[in-house]
Structure 1
Amino acid sequence: MLSRVPLAVTTSGKPEEALVARAREAARQWNLPLIPRRKKEAIARMLESAADAFIVFEREDVSLWDKEGTFSFTPGMAHLRRLRIQSGERDDAFLRVAELRAGDHVLDCTLGLGQDALVASLVVGPRGRVVALEKSLALYAVVSEGLKAYDYGPDSCCVEALHADAHEYLRSLPSGSFDIVFFDPMFEKPKKSQPAFEMLRRFAEHAPLTAETLEQARRVARRWVVVKGAKYSEDLKKLGLEAEPGSHYTSVIWGRMSP
């Protein structure tokens, strides 16, 4: 009998051969076991016996399952934010604080659900670049597959998602490699959220952003290091950052520092 694993790859119940091949190749790249799924076998049963969580390849989607819920990539609010920007609105907080410009190179050190990376990809445009790092393999697998299938349109660059630790990746870069380096670490105090964010919280990297990583980011950034935080926490203050002026009606605050 196979021993239970923390994370594995499987497919929908009646997969076509091409889908099985795709799942097999992904499992190889991610160094995860591929556990075949019998035709009528429920994921819930497989979670009882084979793995704590599954990355499930389906015909139209890639999803993450555990005993508490399921998550698949969706552009969500990022799509609405992109539509507003395309219509000429410039009041997006991330855009304003980061002072994003066409042609910028942006390093998103905390990909998460991909929301801010998608916004950045539109603002920097096809001559720009957005590289997004995610340390959690489970989240990286689902979100990176979703970003590959996303219809960016001709006005965007594509988001380059990488499975990497931000601190180690920053250390590997030459100074001044990106215009903007961005962090959206997990908040100290969880706020009420939708199921996708609950899934994010279960699988995300929870280690706090450190001063050492911030210094590496300052070395790499040509213009700004931007950090998102929670209004009623010490998230930014612990890093020596002051909150930028913003709306009184949001629970999110932003800090930034120059190189």
Structure 2
Amino acid sequence: MQPITIVTTAGRPDERSLALAAFVCEQLHIVYEPRRKRAITTMAKQLHAHIIVAGKDRFAYYPLSAIEPFFFHPNSAAFRLKRVARGETDPFLVATQLSKGETLLDCTLGLAADAMLGAYQVGDTGRVIGLEGNRNVAFIVKQGLQQYDVTTLPLTACMRRIEVIHAQAIDYLLMLPDNSFDVVYMDPMFEETIEEATNFTTLRHAGVQAGLTEQWVQHAVRVAKKRVVLKAHFRSTWFASYGFQQMTRTTAKFHYGVIEKERRDEGLL
């Protein structure tokens, strides 16, 4: 039997957390379960359920059997944006080559750190859409991007501009016409786990884990005007298998790969 998703509150709910729980019920069409002093792990086992906790300051998501919750936070985007604002480079922006007013489709949004960099680069005249295949994760990230209290600009403005859509990447790509976005970006869960990336442990448990496929790459190339960018473990066979030019970085355990649309099109002529 597939687990259901329910919403509850912190141990001692106040009016705000109850109102937030009601909001989750309305948005996701799920039911509210009173906490009654039970531990989240106990509730999950009793009800065979994933649990979203509406707290005073944030939403937290506990997939069934998970010990640690998934919740939104800016992750690495805060210090990366500070570096970019100082005029330093960022490997993601080097790979994507985004400009003001352009459009980015992030097929694997995660915690949206790369999407925030993209939103900064394209500015308020550009557009960034992020896809997340897990409905609960999509909700947590969407609410976090809209509500997270960040006093450091330009991070807040970048967060607010990202549009979160609950959809599997290939399903969404199939609906799009050719040349819909300047850049299509994908960061599937790595074939190999990077030990240092402990902040993604809960996301790996909660999110949709989809490997790259020929169909995915084919439609990403069709939808992109300029280029398709892949992020993967430096030993990944995806770069060579799907025609990405791998951008090696000797100090990093993940690399970016690029398919430039103009060059791909010229090769077909």
Q: TM-score, normalised by structure 1?
A: 0.89
Kindly provide the amino acid, as one letter, of the partner of residue 68 in structure 1: I
Kindly provide the amino acid, as one letter, of the partner of residue 163 in structure 2: E
SS in structure 2 of the partner of residue 236 of structure 1:
helix
- Tell me the distance in 2 between the aligned counterparts of 1:193 and 1:48: 31
User: Which range is displaced more, 234-243 or 216-225?
Assistant: 234-243
Please state if 1:57 is matched with 2:71. Answer: no
Q: Deviation of residue 223 (structure 1)?
A: 0.7
1:237/1:155 Cα in 2 relative to 1: closer, same or farther (>3 Å)? closer
1:179/1:71 Cα in 2 relative to 1: closer, same or farther (>3 Å)? same
User: Aligned ranges for residues 17-32 of structure 1 at < 5 Å?
Assistant: 17-32=15-30
**Sequence identity percentage:** 33
Please state if 1:248 is matched with 2:250. Answer: yes
- Tell me the distance in 2 between the aligned counterparts of 1:71 and 1:165: 19
User: Aligned ranges for residues 24-173 of structure 1 at < 5 Å?
Assistant: 24-38=22-36, 40-66=37-63, 67-89=66-88, 91-150=89-148, 151=150, 152-153=155-156, 158-173=161-176
Once the two structures are superposed, residues 39-76 of structure 1 have per-residue CA deviations (whole angstroms, 9 ceiling, x without a partner) of: x3322321231244311111111112243212221102
- Tell me the distance in 2 between the aligned counterparts of 1:153 and 1:203: 25
| Structure with more helix by fraction | 2
Show the counterpart of 2:259: 257
Once the two structures are superposed, residues 212-246 of structure 1 have per-residue CA deviations (whole angstroms, 9 ceiling, x without a partner) of: 121111121111111111012213222222312x4
Show the counterpart of 1:237: 240
Q: CA-atom RMSD, angstroms?
A: 2.1
- Tell me the distance in 2 between the aligned counterparts of 1:215 and 1:4: 32
Q: Deviation of residue 12 (structure 1)?
A: 1.7
- Tell me the distance in 2 between the aligned counterparts of 1:195 and 1:6: 27
- Tell me the distance in 2 between the aligned counterparts of 1:10 and 1:195: 27
- Tell me the distance in 1 between the aligned counterparts of 2:197 and 2:68: 12
1:6/1:243 Cα in 2 relative to 1: closer, same or farther (>3 Å)? same
SS in structure 1 of the partner of residue 232 of structure 2:
strand
Contiguous gaps of at least 5 residues in structure 2: 262-269
- Tell me the distance in 1 between the aligned counterparts of 2:157 and 2:20: 27
Kindly provide the amino acid, as one letter, of the partner of residue 57 in structure 1: A
CA contact (8 A) 1:111 1:134 kept: yes
Once the two structures are superposed, residues 108-141 of structure 1 have per-residue CA deviations (whole angstroms, 9 ceiling, x without a partner) of: 0000111101111111111111100000123212
CA contact (8 A) 2:107 2:186 kept: yes
Equivalent residue in structure 1 for 2:223, among 220, 224, 233: 220
Q: Deviation of residue 155 (structure 1)?
A: 6.9
- Tell me the distance in 2 between the aligned counterparts of 1:156 and 1:136: 20
- Tell me the distance in 1 between the aligned counterparts of 2:199 and 2:159: 25
- Tell me the distance in 2 between the aligned counterparts of 1:145 and 1:35: 21
1:106/1:213 Cα in 2 relative to 1: closer, same or farther (>3 Å)? same
- Tell me the distance in 1 between the aligned counterparts of 2:158 and 2:86: 13
- Tell me the distance in 2 between the aligned counterparts of 1:168 and 1:155: 26
- Tell me the distance in 1 between the aligned counterparts of 2:224 and 2:125: 18
CA contact (8 A) 1:55 1:65 kept: yes
CA contact (8 A) 1:188 1:235 kept: no
**Count of residue correspondences:** 254
1:116/1:108 Cα in 2 relative to 1: closer, same or farther (>3 Å)? same
Q: Deviation of residue 77 (structure 1)?
A: 0.8
